[in-house]
Amino acid sequence: MILQVPFDLNTENAFVEGQLCFRDGTIYTDADSLPPVSLPLHTVDKLVQRGGIGCGTLEAERKDGTVVRVCRFSMACVEGIGEFAKAINYYLETGRESEIKPEDINICPKCGRRMFKGMSICFHCVDTRQIWGRFFRMMRRERVLLITSAVLMILYNGIQAIVPKINQWLLDSVLKAGTDVHPVIEFLGRTIAPGWTAAQALTFACLGMMLCYVLGQVILPFSVQAANLITLRSSHRLRQEVYDKIQRFSLPAFEKRTAGDLIKRVTDDTDRISTFMSDMGRACLEKSFMLVMVGAILFTTNWQLALCVVLPVPLSLIIQRRFWGYMHTFFEKAWQTERRETGLLRDILKGIRVVKTFGTEAREVGKFTSAAAAVRDQTRRIEIFWALINPITRFSVIVADVLVMYFGGRAVLAGTMTTGTLLLFILYSAYMYEPLRWMARLPRDVSRCTTSLIKLYEVLDEKQAMYESETPVAPALDGSISFDNVQFGYKSYEPVLKHISLEIQPGEMIGLVGHSGAGKSTMINLVMRLYDADLGAVRFNGVDAKQIDYAYLRENIGAVFQETFLFAGTVMENITYAKPTATAEEVIRAARLANAHEFVMKLPDGYNTVVGEDGHNLSGGERQRIAIARAILKDPKILILDEATSALDPETEGKIQEALERLVKNRTTIAIAHRLSTLRHADRLVVLDKGEIAECGTHRELLQRKGIYYGLVMAQRTMQQARSKKQEA
């Protein structure tokens, strides 16, 4: 076995570059500036990782009782060192070898940087070409609309671009006949209007201009509509894909990311991408078409003057670039101060009872006033900045105008150019700036969209962390469960459960007891196969849970938790959530058994009453009974009760207890309860302590052992006695 992970601190809190290695039966460190540590494995009892604040230390406890500091590391290396310690300790315990892969410790295999939380793509090394390749493939799905939209947009712009031409013709051929004109115009004049009078030609030109305008306005809505359709369709499609994928995530994949982050990816990121897609597809063609067409006209007409139009552009871009940083800063600050203001307001209103209780209204008003003043000052600063910056950014346009006017005017005076051509230049140079400005903005938009694309593809590419058998089996389950030397931890280097071995008979009720953090809920998560055991196996009817078809296993497990979440919908829909095909009769029977029927009948719309976020508010006990009805309706072989009655008053608890007793019959049940009296019907109690099974037996057996369980029972008894004494007093 060869292991190697980096560490990065010395004992003086300075960064170093070091490697912690295991090779040829020796644990050793290798860092150029540090004295090396070398520990033959046979002298080591175990490795202990000690966490500090922002750093940690790896220590080795040796067989002779001495303890040695192996290395120190910052947060960057925590996971790697943890995996190392785990692998070594596992090897010391069992003699089995393991290896550490870069993806286990969330380090980019390419640059060695730690990857962002919840991401499996390194932002630093990501191949943007590949990302954009995928984007363009995605874009192809909308190609018909994209082309339509682009063609319409080009048509619109083409028509708009005719207007300056008409102007030129008007000025040169109609209003001042006789001077030399542009050959195209002359040709147009000869073919369209041979022998027209100047007045007739003027009317014709004005009508032509009007027609251009009307045509443009007719085409524009269609083009915009097509673009909107692209945005809507692609965003719908993307959202559907992402949401579909998220629904199929395993629980660990969910836990890597926050709900807010996922919501953002489904809404904001897909939005940004599809907007960009429609904008890109259309604008890219349209703007470049405009640039090329207008550029061609200008340069063929008079290339010197065309240069005057184009030359100030780089200047404008440089100025924009230079000020962009400041602008960004200003806006960011404004946004921050506004956020602080609203945050403060939300805080105060939410905690208004606290404010009133402590009589601190004046202080809070003061705080808010200063936050509001900050917003005012920042906004004013932005206004002043805008007023200053606007003339500067427009400077290049003005420079171009002046240059064109000066050199063009001289040419007109010298008689080498017509007034109409000069007008043409002035009008067309305005057409040049819009595409150029768009191009200046492009890098920023591209960068933003890339970020969104990466986040999106990352979700779409998420490999399910859970092992899925290629040939899943669906054995007949009778409710027998066995834990075979199971070890599991949410974090690889912190096993929550260790050496768990337990045989549960069909129909048996097991009570899980222990301090909080002892691993009770984790054990239940393993039974429900929300996670897989790191080592050992959980078996149902002798079959490893990993081999059993995921959906099939879930069908056979029902659960009632401390808090029941009701979806927005009717009581009926919430009860049938587990079995959508259930008849009304079945539902009512289940509700009766769950002691829920009585209160449901008192609701205004009975089983059709809408509950959930915007619906009728049910109490904790009522929700709990709905959950029990769900479980009864599902009729599972295995039932899990996780603190099902802990949040309730004694009377309701009695009712629910009664309902649960009906539910538990003839099923394998695993129940967690802090209040030990609720577990009195359990066939066996399993006491967990620091992730291991400390005691196991019936209530009576455990009391006689006078161990942990005895201590817990006694503690609760004294507490109850104290409470009843208080009530008597």
Q: Pick the closer one to another protein by CB: 123 or 550.
A: 123
Q: Which residues pair with 481 in a beta bridge?
A: 504, 540
Structure tokens at 50: 């000690």
Q: Pick the closer one to another protein by CB: 78 or 590.
A: 78
Q: Pick the closer one to another protein by CB: 78 or 628.
A: 78
Q: Pick the closer one to another protein by CB: 336 or 677.
A: 336
Whether 532 and 546 have beta carbons less than 8 Å apart is answered as yes
Residue 448 Cβ vs another protein, minimum distance, rounded to whole Å: 7
Q: Which residues pair with 504 in a beta bridge?
A: 481
Residue 213 Cβ vs another protein, minimum distance, rounded to whole Å: 42
Size of the chain in residues: 729
DSSP string over 660-671: HHHHHTTSEEEE
Whether 712 and 676 have beta carbons less than 8 Å apart is answered as yes
Helix (H, G, I), strand (E, B) or coil at 498: strand
Q: Which ranges constitute the DSSP H helices of 360-485?
A: 361-393, 395-414, 419-461
**Separation between Cα atoms, residue 666 and residue 674, nearest integer Å:** 24
Residue 231 Cβ vs another protein, minimum distance, rounded to whole Å: 22
Q: Which residues pair with 671 in a beta bridge?
A: 511, 641
Q: Which residues contact 304 (CB under 8 A, 6 or more apart)?
A: 407
**Separation between Cα atoms, residue 132 and residue 280, nearest integer Å:** 12
How many CB atoms lie under 10 A from the CB of residue 475?
14
Q: Pick the closer one to another protein by CB: 375 or 535.
A: 375
Residue 64 Cβ vs another protein, minimum distance, rounded to whole Å: 11
Q: Pick the closer one to another protein by CB: 95 or 325.
A: 325
Strand bridging mode 692-697 / 684-689 = antiparallel
Residue 139 Cβ vs another protein, minimum distance, rounded to whole Å: 20
> Smallest Cα–Cα separation from 431: which of 524, 628, 556, 293?
293
Strand bridging mode 557-560 / 543-544 = unpaired
Q: Pick the closer one to another protein by CB: 323 or 577.
A: 323
Residue 449 Cβ vs another protein, minimum distance, rounded to whole Å: 10
Whether 157 and 290 have beta carbons less than 8 Å apart is answered as yes
Residue 61 Cβ vs another protein, minimum distance, rounded to whole Å: 9
Q: Pick the closer one to another protein by CB: 64 or 470.
A: 64
> Smallest Cα–Cα separation from 626: which of 671, 571, 586?
571
> First and final CA of the chain: distance in angstroms?
68
Q: Pick the closer one to another protein by CB: 329 or 721.
A: 329
Residue 239 Cβ vs another protein, minimum distance, rounded to whole Å: 21
Residue 65 Cβ vs another protein, minimum distance, rounded to whole Å: 9
Q: Pick the closer one to another protein by CB: 440 or 502.
A: 440
b/e for 229-252, b at 16 or more Cβ within 10 A?
ebbebbbeebbebbeebbeebbee
Structure tokens at 697: 């037996």
Q: Pick the closer one to another protein by CB: 236 or 444.
A: 444
The identity of residue 325, as a single letter, is G
The residues of the shown chain that bind another protein, judged by CB under 8 A, are 9, 11-15, 52-55, 57, 66-69, 72, 74-76, 78, 113-117, 123-124, 126, 128, 325, 328-329, 332-333, 336-337, 340, 447-448, 450-451, 454
Helix (H, G, I), strand (E, B) or coil at 415: coil
For 544, left (φ over 0), alpha (ψ -120 to 50), or beta?
beta
Residue 538 Cβ vs another protein, minimum distance, rounded to whole Å: 31
Residue 331 Cβ vs another protein, minimum distance, rounded to whole Å: 10
Q: Which residues contact 505 (CB under 8 A, 6 or more apart)?
A: 480, 668
Q: Pick the closer one to another protein by CB: 333 or 579.
A: 333
**Separation between Cα atoms, residue 376 and residue 373, nearest integer Å:** 5
Residue 576 Cβ vs another protein, minimum distance, rounded to whole Å: 42
